[in-house]
C-alpha cells in the first residue's frame, strides 16, 4: 500500500500548519484555558472549510477522504488547538449520513454540533467533547440516535486537559435521527472515525513532545556539554521518535482502509488509537522528565502536551478498553459475552 502523500495532500498539511502556527501558539492555547475554546480560531477554521471537507460533494461538502481528515487531525494535535475539530467533523459526517436537515446550518457555521463517543445512560450523555460550547450533540441513547439541544450556559466539567467537556441531559426536545439497529450501526460508523482522527491528533501531540524534548536537550548543559549527549537522555527520545513513526504509519494505514479495505477499518482504527495513546503518553512523560523541574512549571510548554495526551484519550474510555473493538471486529461481539 502506497502511503506517500499527493501534492494536494501536502498543500492541505501546509495550509493547516500555517493556520495553527498563526492562531494556536502556546500563548494562545494558554489564553484559552480553562475552557479550552478559542472562538476566533474556530471561526478561522470554519472559514478554511474544516466542516465542508468532512462531507461529500453531494451533501454540500468537499468530499475529503479519511486520510485527508487524518492529516489535518495530526496538525491539530501538534498545535493542541483549542477548537473542536474532530468531534464536529464526525458529527457533520453523521448528520449527512442520516440525511438530517440540520447539516446545512452546521456547514454554514450557524450551529456547532458535536459528537458524543460515549452512549448515554439514565437520560444523560457524559463527558461530551465540546459540550460546554456546542449548540447540540449527536448521542446514542437506548438504541436511538438523537440530536440533543444543549442549553446555553451549560457548565464545563473541570478537567486536567482544559477541554470544554460537559454532561448533557436528554430531554423531550431531542430529535430522533435513527432507531434500533440502524442507530447502533450509525453510531459505530461515527465512533470508528472519531477513534481514527483522535489517534492522529495524539500522534501530533507525541511528535511535538519529542521535538520539545530534543530542543531542550540541546540547549540545557551539564558538566560542560548538552544533556542530549548523555545516553540516558538520548535513548528515551530515540525510542519515542521511533514509536511516533510507527503510530503515524498505523494511523495512515487505518485511514486508507476506509477506501481500500473497509472490512478492516474499524479494527485498524481502534488499534491506531490505542497505539497512538501509548506513544503520546510515553513521549510526553519522557520529554517532561528531561525538562526536569522546569517541565512541571506552568510556564513550560511540555506540560500543555502532557495534560492533553491523557485527557484527549480518556474522553471515550480507558484506552486499553478500546481493544475490545478489535476483538469484536475479528470474532464478533466478544465484549458483550
> DSSP 3-state helix, strand, coil percentages of the chain (rounded to 5)?
60, 10, 30
Short-list 165, 47, 59, CA closest to 109: 47
Tens-digit pLDDT profile for residues 9-39: 999 999 999 999 999 999 999 999 999 999 9
- Measure the CA dihedral 13/16/21/26, to 10°: -100
User: Do strands 144-149 and 166-169 pair parallel, antiparallel, or not at all (unpaired)?
Assistant: unpaired
DSSP 166-195: EEEE--TTPEEEEEHHHHHHHHHHHHHHHH
Instruction: Judge contact between 313 and 198, C-beta under 8 A.
Output: yes
Q: In angstroms, rounded to a whole number, what is the distance separating the alpha carbons of residues 81 and 309?
A: 13
Tens-digit pLDDT profile for residues 227-286: 999 999 999 999 999 999 999 999 999 999 999 999 999 999 999 999 999 999 999 999
Q: Which residues of 46-57 are buried (b: 16+ CB within 10 A; e: fewer)?
A: beeebbbbbbee
Q: In angstroms, rounded to a whole number, what is the distance separating the alpha carbons of residues 202 and 86?
A: 12
Share of the chain above pLDDT 90, in %: 92
Give, for 79, the enclosing helix (H) or strand (E): none
Tens-digit pLDDT profile for residues 70-122: 999 999 999 999 999 999 999 999 999 999 999 999 999 999 999 999 999 99
pLDDT at 337: 45
pLDDT at 298: 87
Does residue 336 register a pLDDT over 90? no
| Residue bearing cell 510556564 | 299
| Beta-bridge partners for 42 | none
- Measure the CA dihedral 259/260/264/266, to 10°: -10
Instruction: Judge contact between 164 and 132, C-beta under 8 A.
Output: yes
Q: In angstroms, rounded to a whole number, what is the distance separating the alpha carbons of residues 43 and 37?
A: 11
Averaged pLDDT for residues 53-67: 96
Amino acid at each position: 500500500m502506497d502511503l506517500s502523500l499527493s501534492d494536494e495532500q501536502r498543500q492541505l498539511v501546509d495550509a493547516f500548519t500555517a493556520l495553527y502556527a498563526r492562531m494556536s501558539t502556546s500563548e494562545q492555547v494558554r489564553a484559552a484555558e480553562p475552557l479550552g475554546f478559542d472562538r476566533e480560531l474556530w471561526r478561522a477554521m470554519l472559514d478554511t472549510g474544516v466542516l465542508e471537507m468532512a462531507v461529500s460533494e453531494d451533501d454540500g461538502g468537499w468530499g475529503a477522504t479519511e486520510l485527508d481528515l487524518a492529516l489535518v487531525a495530526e496538525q491539530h494535535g501538534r498545535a493542541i488547538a483549542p477548537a473542536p475539530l474532530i468531534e464536529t467533523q464526525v458529527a457533520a459526517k453523521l448528520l449527512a449520513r442520516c440525511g438530517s436537515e440540520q447539516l446545512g446550518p452546521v456547514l454554514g457555521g450557524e450551529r456547532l454540533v458535536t459528537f458524543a463517543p460515549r452512549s448515554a445512560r439514565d437520560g444523560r450523555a457524559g463527558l461530551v467533547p465540546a459540550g460546554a460550547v456546542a449548540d447540540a450533540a449527536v448521542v446514542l441513547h437506548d438504541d436511538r440516535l438523537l440530536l440533543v439541544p444543549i442549553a446555553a450556559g451549560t457548565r464545563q466539567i473541570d478537567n486536567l486537559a482544559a477541554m470544554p467537556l460537559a454532561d448533557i441531559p436528554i430531554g423531550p426536545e431531542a430529535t430522533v435521527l435513527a432507531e434500533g439497529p440502524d442507530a447502533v450501526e450509525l453510531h459505530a460508523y461515527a465512533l470508528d472515525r472519531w477513534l481514527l482522527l483522535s489517534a492522529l491528533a495524539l500522534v501530533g501531540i507525541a511528535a511535538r513532545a519529542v521535538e520539545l524534548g530534543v530542543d531542550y536537550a540541546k540547549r540545557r548543559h551539564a558538566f560542560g556539554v548538552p544533556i542530549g549527549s548523555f545516553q540516558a537522555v538520548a535513548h528515551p527520545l530515540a525510542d519515542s521518535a521511533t514509536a511516533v513513526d510507527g503510530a503515524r504509519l498505523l494511523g495512515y494505514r487505518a485511514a486508507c482502509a476506509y477506501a481500500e479495505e473497509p472490512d478492516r477499518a474499524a479494527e485498524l482504527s481502534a488499534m491506531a488509537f490505542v497505539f497512538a495513546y501509548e506513544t503520546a503518553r510515553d513521549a510526553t512523560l519522557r520529554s517532561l522528565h528531561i525538562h526536569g523541574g522546569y517541565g512541571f512549571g506552568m510556564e513550560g510548554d511540555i506540560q500543555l502536551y502532557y495534560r492533553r495526551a491523557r485527557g484527549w484519550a480518556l474522553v471515550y474510555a480507558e484506552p486499553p478498553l478500546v481493544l475490545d473493538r478489535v476483538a469484536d471486529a475479528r470474532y464478533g461481539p466478544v465484549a458483550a459475552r
